[in-house]
């Protein structure tokens, strides 16, 4: 609290608000005037209340806090607050009682002059930042799954039984139009729906992130690679299950290349749709607040309907090189795709356990 009021008044109000304890030290403007920078740097570590201050004192307090690596937010409504608002990392002016000069100097203006609005704005800012990370986590992991599917599908073509199926040259696990279709239905609706996703964790219950923290950090990259690898593995495993001559030989290994490729294509689409609920948090279970985002579930439902149409409608079969699937194919594709969900749930469980152990 930095105020022009008498130190006794400032100390009593600050104690009532919980800013300082009863009888806590209140530093006056007169004391600030005789302090050098080193003494002020020591004082701001312990003192929470300043009284009878002048505009230059506010500037010095802000400068001392920033010099110690703090991110400083300053509120004010008068003309004499404008320099400190400009000097702070975030200047907050009052929209009703604030002067025009203060509003112009500030970074943020409180339209209702309610300090609780600052808390709501911080929570909203954290939610938006989280949603940006969700969007990136989802797109990167899904695209990683596609890249790894094609790469290992070509490298392991002989093992998977892709060779010798009547196609000359390199036999791909997915054709180009199928990859474009995957990007169309997974990179559009579900990804955009994450931009309006409600928070699935207590965003105000964690400390502020460091200014140097990357949006895409090491933890996100690890998750992206793990989920991408699982996505590729289940897609290629589905292809192998239905394609004769591969590593996995079952009673279902009787399909031609088009049918087996369609099942793998469907598995990858469903895996990416499962990945939408995975990506809503780095550590919180996908089953927490599962149904709060109606837009996301609408996008998932639309993706399922469109995928069924691509597989079963004759006109679309010709365009996307697909074949109709029976109940066994659909069941295997859905079951294999769900491994993406269970693998990420296991990763999150381990991450939470390690975090509790460190705490």
Kindly report the CATH number assigned to the domain that includes residue 88.
3.40.50.1000
User: Is the predicted pLDDT of residue 92 greater than 70, yes or no?
Assistant: yes
Residue 122 lies in a domain: no
Identify whether residues 95 and 138 lie together within a single domain. Answer: no
Long-range contacts for 65-74 (Cβ within 8 Å, ≥24 apart)?
A: 67/41, 68/41, 68/44, 71/208, 71/211, 73/118
Question: What's residue 308's pLDDT?
Answer: 95
Mean pLDDT of 294-322: 94
CA distance 230 to 346: 12
Whether the CB-CB separation of 122 and 204 falls below 8 Å is answered with: yes
CA distance 184 to 32: 62
* 160 band by pLDDT with thresholds 50, 70 and 90: confident
Tokens of 331: 């069941």
Identify whether residues 19 and 108 lie together within a single domain. Answer: yes
- The residues with which 92 forms a beta bridge, in sequence order, are 75, 108
Question: What's residue 166's pLDDT?
Answer: 54
Question: What's residue 203's pLDDT?
Answer: 86
CA distance 105 to 66: 18
CA dihedral 95, 97, 100, 105 (to 10 degrees): -60
CA distance 137 to 125: 18
Element (H, E) at 107: none
For 209, the domain range is 128-358
Identify whether residues 106 and 169 lie together within a single domain. Answer: no
Residues 6+ apart with CB under 8 A from 19: 1, 48, 49
CA distance readout (Å), 153 to 144, 163, 257, 273:
14, 11, 13, 21
Whether the CB-CB separation of 117 and 140 falls below 8 Å is answered with: no
Residues 6+ apart with CB under 8 A from 213: none
Mean pLDDT computed over every residue of the chain? 90
Question: What's residue 167's pLDDT?
Answer: 58
Question: What's residue 80's pLDDT?
Answer: 87
Identify whether residues 215 and 340 lie together within a single domain. Answer: yes
Among candidate residues 117, 137, 155, the one where a domain is terminated: 117
Mean pLDDT of 26-52: 92
User: Is the predicted pLDDT of residue 251 greater than 90, yes or no?
Assistant: no
pTM above 0.75, yes or no: yes
CA distance 253 to 332: 12
Find, among 78, 124, 127, 116, the residue nearest to 98 by Cα. Answer: 78
What percentage of residues in the chain have a pLDDT greater than 90?
60
Residue 157 lies in a domain: yes
* 255 band by pLDDT with thresholds 50, 70 and 90: confident
Residue 2 lies in a domain: no
Among candidate residues 76, 93, 117, the one where a domain is terminated: 117
Identify whether residues 47 and 81 lie together within a single domain. Answer: yes
Residue 123 lies in a domain: no
Question: What's residue 168's pLDDT?
Answer: 58
| Phi (first) and psi of residue 43, to 5 degrees | -65, -40
Identify whether residues 96 and 25 lie together within a single domain. Answer: yes
Whether the CB-CB separation of 44 and 64 falls below 8 Å is answered with: yes
Among candidate residues 85, 117, 149, the one where a domain is terminated: 117
Question: What's residue 172's pLDDT?
Answer: 86
CA distance 55 to 306: 63
């Amino acid at each position: 609290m930095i105020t022009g009021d008498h130190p006794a008044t400032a100390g009593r109000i600050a104690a009532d608000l919980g800013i300082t304890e009863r009888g806590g030290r209140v530093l006056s403007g007169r004391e600030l005037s005789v302090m050098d920078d080193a003494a002020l740097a020591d004082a701001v570590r312990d003192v929470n209340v300043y009284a009878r201050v002048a505009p230059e004192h506010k500037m010095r307090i802000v400068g001392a806090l920033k010099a110690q690596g703090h991110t400083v937010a300053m509120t004010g409504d008068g003309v004499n607050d404008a320099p400190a608002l400009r000097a702070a990392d975030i200047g907050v002016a009052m929209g009703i009682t604030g002067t025009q000069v203060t509003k112009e100097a500030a970074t943020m203006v409180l339209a209702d002059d309610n300090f609780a609005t600052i808390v709501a704005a911080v929570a909203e800012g954290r939610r938006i930042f989280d949603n940006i990370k969700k969007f990136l986590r989802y797109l990167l992991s899904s695209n990683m799954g596609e890249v790894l599917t094609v790469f290992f599908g070509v490298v392991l073509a002989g093992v998977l039984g892709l060779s010798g199926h009547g196609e000359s040259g390199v036999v791909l696990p997915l054709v180009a139009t199928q990859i474009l279709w995957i990007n169309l239905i997974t990179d559009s609706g579900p990804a955009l729906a994450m931009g309006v996703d409600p928070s699935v964790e207590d965003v105000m219950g964690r400390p502020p992130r460091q200014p140097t923290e990357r949006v895409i950090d090491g933890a996100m990259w690890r998750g992206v690679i793990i989920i991408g690898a699982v996505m590729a593995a289940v897609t290629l495993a589905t292809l192998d299950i239905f394609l004769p001559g591969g590593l996995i030989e079952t009673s279902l290994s009787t399909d031609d290349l088009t049918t087996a490729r369609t099942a793998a294509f469907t598995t990858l689409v469903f895996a990416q749709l499962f990945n939408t609920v995975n990506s809503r948090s780095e550590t919180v279970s996908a089953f927490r607040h599962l149904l709060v985002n109606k837009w996301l579930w609408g996008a998932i439902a639309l993706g399922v309907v469109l995928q069924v149409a691509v597989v079963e409608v004759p006109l679309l079969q010709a365009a996307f090189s697909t074949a109709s699937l029976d109940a066994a194919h659909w069941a295997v594709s859905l079951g294999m795709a769900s491994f993406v969900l269970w693998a990420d749930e296991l990763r999150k469980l381990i991450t939470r356990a390690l975090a509790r152990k460190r705490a």
